[in-house]
Amino acid sequence: MSIDTLLVVNAGSSSLKFHVYALDQEQVEGLRFWFGGQVSGIGTSRAVLKVKDSDGKELINQKLSEDEAGNLRQAQDLLATWLATQLDKAPVAVGHRIVHGGVKLTGSRVIDEDVLWYLDSLAPLAPLHQHNNLAPVSVINERWPEMLQVACVDTAFHCCQSTMVNHYALPEKYYEQGVRRYGFHGLSYQYISEYLAENMPRLHQGRVLVAHLGSGASATMVVNGLSRESTMGFTALDGLPMATRPGRLDAGVVLWWMQQQDMTAAQIQNLLYNESGLKGISGISGDMRELLASDAPSAKLAVDYYAYRVAESLAGLCVSAQGVDALVFTAGVGEHSPEIRARIVAHLGWLGLELDAEANDANQPLISTPHSKVEIRVIPTNEELVIARETLRHYRSQEA
């Protein structure tokens, strides 16, 4: 029996993630996750293709040669060829995670030539992500020129923030030219908001701090399901310290590099995106797991700095909502590192947060004590499902 499917693609600098959903009318949303995985380690000797089905059963775990995944284009071709062996026909639509939507894209959008050109023009604002996000669009256009493709942008969730919040203290002409606070990780925050609306409506209507802590990291105050304020701004460099990005940084440091160190824009960009953050402080790695396992003083400093600055930013976001009812940890570090969660919460006891150490160590969904004034929860994010929902909505609209 032929099955209609929908493909979700999330292409990064060194990984290519994908999910395949079957269009199933027996499901509430009309979507059933079928299988998904990723090509990781692209461009390295550690490249591998891993795929699991909806039950978590491993379908493939294959090491790849540099000829197979030496760059993103090769990885895309490899994945397209493998998918062709699994699907009896092309997907009806493809949804893409796109990091930056700029001023114009305040929601998901069907990709045409104008949209593609506009998104490509935003690449300087997200040099680690934007071109890679868009690369699969071109490959799919070549193979299936009539395929419906949808851009789901990470900045869209934050477009409801007030003008005061998204301003910088700069001459107004720059705001009009697009220099403003956009916020990122919006697909993750949208999922958490929708999850709370469905499963915890009381919290959804309240003031919820969401900490998306992964290789990239940010936090957002969500009030009644909407973004009130976020730590990231014009680009994905701002806010919390990250694996290889510094987070909040005095702009004078950049001027000093230019004027006193004679560094070029390309050198500065590489330093800010690839050599800073946890990796920069520790001199060891940007991987939190390696730092927690290390006895090096620089690793301890990096972890301490991370926990302190994340907590500081979480406290600052409470100003926008005049309080907080819940704190949600999500993404790789947020979901899987009890020690980091404990370190962050330890800085926030004065806000009424009280951690249940046993529940936290066991990665339970609720990790606050009954006496805590603020609920503390761990909710796995699912950006791919948000993309699938948005893509299905556009597909149905075109079919109507």
Give the range of the structural domain holding residue 92, as residue numbers without chain letter. Answer: 5-153
Residues 314, 373: one domain? yes
- The model's confidence at residue 13, banded by pLDDT at 50, 70 and 90, is low
Residues 100, 229: one domain? no
Residues 221, 142: one domain? no
Residue 124 has pLDDT above 60, yes or no: yes
Number of domains in the chain: 2
Q: Residues with catalytic annotation?
A: 154
Residue 319 maps to a domain: yes
Residue 69 maps to a domain: yes
Give the chain as a 3 state SS string. CCCCEEEEEEECCCEEEEEEEEECCCCCCCEEEEEEEEEECCCCCCCEEEEEECCCCEEEEEECCHHHHCCHHHHHHHHHHHHHHHCCCCCCEEEEEECCCCCCCCCCEECCHHHHHHHHHCHHHCCCCHHHHHHHHHHHHHHCCCCEEEEEECCHHHCCCCCCCCCCCCCHHHHHCCCCCCCCCHHHHHHHHHHHHHHCHHHHCCEEEEEEECCCEEEEEEECCEEEEECCCCCCCCCCCCCCCCCCCCHHHHHHHHHHCCCCHHHHHHHHHHCCHHHHHHCCCCCHHHHHHCCCHHHHHHHHHHHHHHHHHHHHHHHHHCCCCEEEEEHHHHHHCHHHHHHHHHCCHHHCCCECHHHHHCCCCECECCCCCCEEEECCCCHHHHHHHHHHHHHHHHHC
Residue 260 is predicted with a pLDDT of 96
Residues 214, 81: one domain? no
Give the global pTM.
0.92
Q: What is the pLDDT of residues 259-295, one digit of tens each?
A: 999 999 999 999 999 999 999 999 999 999 999 999 9
Q: What is the pLDDT of residues 30-48, one digit of tens each?
A: 899 999 998 887 877 788 8
> In CATH, what number is assigned to the domain containing residue 320?
3.30.420.40
Residue 308 is predicted with a pLDDT of 98
Residues 20, 146: one domain? yes
Q: What is the pLDDT of residues 140-170, one digit of tens each?
A: 888 788 899 999 999 999 999 999 999 999 9
